[in-house]
Structure formats: C-alpha cells, structure tokens
Amino acid sequence: MASEMMEALLELCQERHIDQLYLIDRLEQSLAKSYAEILRLDWGAKVTIDRATGKIYVYKLVPIDDSMDEEGNYTEFEEVDVTPRDTSRIAAQHAKAEINAIVRNSIREKIYEEFSSRIGDLINGTVLQSTPDFTIVKIREGVEAELPHFDLRRFEGERDERPRGERYGHNQRIKAVIIDVRDPNSSLPPVRGEHNRPPIVISRTHPALIKRLFEQEVPEIYEGTVEVKSIAREPGQRSKVAVHSLDDRLDPVGACVGPKGSRVRAVVGELRGERVDVILWNEDPAVYVANALSPAKVTRVLIDEEKNYAGVIVPDDQLSLAIGKEGQNARLAARLTGWHIDIKSETLAADILKNVAVAAETPQDLLDGSEGDLEPERCAFITDSGVRCRNQARPGSRFCGVHEPLSGGEDAVEGVEDLI
C-alpha cells in the first residue's frame, strides 16, 4: 500500500510539475501536526516517510533534561517510535490537501511574478460571475481578476472599485486597471477569504483608468507629445483631465477631444456616460485655476501661495455654473489643481471690498488667454503675512483696482484680506 502511494505521488508530481522531495517534506510537516493532535503529544511529533518504500514512521518527542537553555526551553528531544497501525489513510488525505495547496500556491506565484509589475495597466476582460460583493473577470485562460464592490459600512478594510450605478452581466466585456496583485508569500495578514479569491484586483473607479483610455484613443498621449498632468474624478458622474503639450504648435485639448469630439466620446462611452472635461494645464496657478473651473467664465483669480488658497471672482450669472451641482465643479477643480478654491460673485466681492469696484479696469480674460494691456509695475499692496499682491498697478497709481486706497481705506484693506 505504501509503495502504491509513492507511485501515485510520483505520477502526480510529474503531471503537476512539482518537486517530489519538496512535496514529501511538506507532507511530513503536515502529518506531524496532525499526529501531535491525534495522539495528544505534549511536545509534538516528528514524521518521516521512507523515500523508497513510502512507509510512514511517527515519533513522539521527549525532551532531554540536560538540554534546557537559559530561557527554560528544551533544545534537544529524544524520538520515541509511536507509529500507529493505519497511517496510509490519513497520509492519503493529507497528500491530497497538500498537493492541491502546492498547485494553487504555485499558480498564484506565477501570476504574481507576471502581473506585479503591471499595476496601473489597462486590461480587457470577460465577466464570469457577479455577486453582491465582487465580480470575477476572466483576463485570459487560467487567469482571473476580482473587481470588488463591497459595502464598506459592513466590511471595513475591503474595497469598492465599481462606479455607482454600474452592473455587469455574464460574458460582458469590460475594461479596468490593475490596482493590486496579492503576494501568496506575503507575511501580511490575509484578507477575508483570500485563498479562494483571484490574486489580481482591478478597478473601474481609479483615475488611472481615464488616463489609459485616453492613451488608447489619443496617439499624441501614447507617444508622449501630450501629457496628462492631473485627473480629478467622481466615478460614474464627472471627471476633469488637465493636459499639456510639449509641442507649442499642438493644441492638447483639441488632440484629446478629436475630430467632432470622436476621441473623448469613445472614452465617455467606455465610462458609460460619465462626463469628462478636458482642460488646459498652465504653470501659472491663477490661469490653471481659472481653466479648471471651465465651463464657467472667470473674472479674476487672487492667489495666496503661502496658504495654498485661490480666491476666484466670477460674473454674477456664472456663479452657479462655477460651483456646479452640489458643488461638484468647484470640488473637482480643487482636486485637479491642488488649491483651496473660494468662489465669489462680483457683487458679493464688491460688497466685501466696501464698494471698491472690482471690474473698474478691463479684467484679464483668463479663459481666453489674452494678456491685455498690463503695466510693468506690480501693485504695492502687501498683506500682514508679507505677501505682495500679484496684480498690476493701475496707470498713475502704485496700487491695483482692488487695493486702491480710499477714504477709510483700512476697512477696505481688511475686506481684501478676508477675500484672499
């Protein structure tokens, strides 16, 4: 019986490409734990398997008194043979479990080696199964990925990578990005049910998905002529993408939008109707913030670099458009630019400034990019924190239209500081 078991093990090792000695070593360790519990051995057990005959020997470990170290632990044990009569049945059960574990772990190791360097890549997959907590997606034969969409109120520490409102049917083709590959040999605590879940984790909510989709649709981005500088996204609803061209002759926004909007429309279609705004990146934070608030038209942007604050003044009829539904446009613009944005209408700004006419001079149209007729001298106004105003001085004055001293000018200055 024992020799038959060894022959079966050898065949399985050859079929599954498993090292026979490695398998036998794993079996010995597994059987030792089981027999220590079955025979109730206080100091554990040692199991050896004859490599030629397959016969199994079980030894009881008895500590040697003289081998105790300084910490009170025994370092040497005497082995007493306590081999039960019927060991083949238990050994066969353990062999089956160990072989399955080894094969499963080997597959996960190969997947980890292949895909761990592909985090952030776009994959095309077919939906195999969808449950209330996750969707299994087939990437290719023998390789599956998990798109988690757990209820985070019930399962803390899990992920929700599905845009709100999306549902997936069997055999449906979807695109997603790889965000994680679970290491089978990691020392970190495993996630719930990790060994029964695919090792690859994908996402439909990650901002990298939009970047990869644009790389597919826009050759200029794939070639590196156009750069995607920043992405702000509320999955399933709206996104903003800031782009910049390394070639002055190329319009990056036009390249991303494509002829009659064909390129951006393809991206929107893959995102299932999610609105995508493509805006022009600019190294000047004032211009960049104004562009980020598109489609609203901005009158002026006041920047406080120390506080990372941008005060934005817009025409009265543009206020609701600049803020957006439930503050969405302003919120996405703030994420995109990294600036804290405070939006005020011209009427409110003028009231704060104690009737100082904000639009007394022709404002710079930041969206159209026109520079206007600017004087070379900057406004001389300096805040209490030592930051000088970035606006240009009015002709014949050392101050801009916002900071022009009036009678009772101290109150006006305080109002300006509140706005900034």
pLDDT in tens, 241-280: 999 999 999 999 999 999 999 999 999 999 999 999 999 9
Domain that holds residue 418: 282-420
- Residue of 84 and 279 predicted with greater confidence: 279
Question: CA-to-CA distance for 179 and 35, rounded, in angstroms?
Answer: 42
The CATH number linked to 34 is 3.30.1480.10
- H or E element at residue 326: none
Are 362 and 404 found together in one domain? yes
State residue 21's pLDDT score. 82
Query: Is residue 346 domain-resident?
Result: yes
Q: Which of 4-8, 168-172, 324-328 has the lowest mean pLDDT?
A: 4-8
Query: Is residue 361 domain-resident?
Result: yes
State residue 373's pLDDT score. 42
- pTM equals 0.69
Whether pLDDT at 66 is above 70: yes
Query: Is residue 114 domain-resident?
Result: no
Are 299 and 387 found together in one domain? yes
| Residue where a domain terminates, one of 205, 234, 261 | 205
- What is the average pLDDT across 208-229? 95
Query: Is residue 79 domain-resident?
Result: yes
Choose among 281, 307, 308: nearest CA to 294. 281
Whether pLDDT at 359 is above 70: no
Q: Which of 108-112, 188-192, 216-220, 297-301 has the lowest mean pLDDT?
A: 188-192
Choose among 254, 270, 353, 354: nearest CA to 313. 353
- What is the average pLDDT across 120-126? 94
Distance of CA 272 to the CA centre of its chain: 20
Q: Which of 124-138, 183-197, 316-330 has the lowest mean pLDDT?
A: 183-197
Are 382 and 293 found together in one domain? yes
Are 308 and 384 found together in one domain? yes
- What is the average pLDDT across 5-26? 77
Structure tokens at 107: 């597959």
Are 306 and 269 found together in one domain? no
Are 73 and 198 found together in one domain? no
Question: CA-to-CA distance for 271 and 209, rounded, in angstroms?
Answer: 9
Query: Is residue 262 domain-resident?
Result: yes
Are 147 and 232 found together in one domain? no
Question: CA-to-CA distance for 343 and 366, rounded, in angstroms?
Answer: 15
- What is the average pLDDT across 60-64? 85
How confident is residue 388, by pLDDT bands cut at 50, 70 and 90?
A: confident
- H or E element at residue 260: none
Are 150 and 200 found together in one domain? yes
Are 97 and 137 found together in one domain? no
The CATH number linked to 368 is 3.30.300.20
State residue 393's pLDDT score. 73
Winning range, highest mean pLDDT, from 80-89, 337-346, 360-369, 408-417: 337-346
Are 181 and 89 found together in one domain? no
How confident is residue 197, by pLDDT bands cut at 50, 70 and 90?
A: confident
Choose among 410, 301, 292: nearest CA to 358. 301
Q: What's the pLDDT tens digit per position in 88-115?
A: 667 667 767 777 777 788 788 889 999 9
- Residue of 45 and 288 predicted with greater confidence: 288
Whether pLDDT at 77 is above 70: yes
| Residue where a domain terminates, one of 252, 281, 310 | 281
State residue 290's pLDDT score. 94
Q: Which of 3-12, 123-132, 366-375 has the lowest mean pLDDT?
A: 366-375
Task: Please give the torsion angle defined by the CA atoms of residues 337, 338, 344 and 345, in that order, rounded to the nearest 10 degrees.
Answer: 0
State residue 64's pLDDT score. 82
State residue 325's pLDDT score. 92
State residue 104's pLDDT score. 81
Q: Which of 63-67, 110-114, 305-309, 314-318 has the lowest mean pLDDT?
A: 63-67
- H or E element at residue 86: none
Number of domains in the chain: 4
Q: Per-residue DSSP letters for 107-121?
A: HHHHHHHHHGGGTT-
Query: Is residue 7 domain-resident?
Result: yes
State residue 87's pLDDT score. 65
Q: Per-residue DSSP letters for 290-310?
A: HHHTTTS--SEEEEETTTTEE
Query: Is residue 142 domain-resident?
Result: yes
Mean pLDDT of the chain: 82
CA-CA-CA-CA torsion sign (366, 368, 371, 372): negative
Whether pLDDT at 363 is above 60: no
Whether pLDDT at 401 is above 70: no
Are 165 and 65 found together in one domain? no
Half-sphere exposure of 250 (CA within 13 A, CB side): 18
| Residue where a domain terminates, one of 109, 140, 159 | 109
Are 131 and 247 found together in one domain? no
State residue 367's pLDDT score. 43
How confident is residue 417, by pLDDT bands cut at 50, 70 and 90?
A: very low
Distance of CA 278 to the CA centre of its chain: 21
